[in-house]
Amino acid sequence: MIMKKDEIDQFVIKKVREMRTEKQLSQMALANELGVSVGFIGMVESDNYPTHYNIKHLNELAKILKCSPQDFLPKKPI
């Protein structure tokens, strides 16, 4: 049985993907900068796996994408 990602995880992942593509970063480039495998990024961005970013990932992603970790989160609770 495949576990679905929570709504908040889906929101965060969508925001990260949008920012990644705006900066024309491939999954491979992001994985290299984040220090994870390209497979991890692929699983995070896929609906077929429960894999998601943790708070440490979000902090590092904010450094890489030159933004605030808050930019990945909704303005109001989901």
Residue-averaged pLDDT of the chain: 95
Per-residue pLDDT tens digits for 33-51: 999 999 999 999 999 999 9
pTM (predicted TM-score): 0.92
Query: What CATH number labels 7-72?
Result: 1.10.260.40
* Nearest one of 77, 75, 15 to 44, comparing CA atoms: 15
Per-residue pLDDT tens digits for 61-72: 999 999 999 999
The reported pLDDT for the residue numbered 6 is 93
Instruction: Give the other-Cβ count within 10 Å of 13's Cβ.
Output: 19
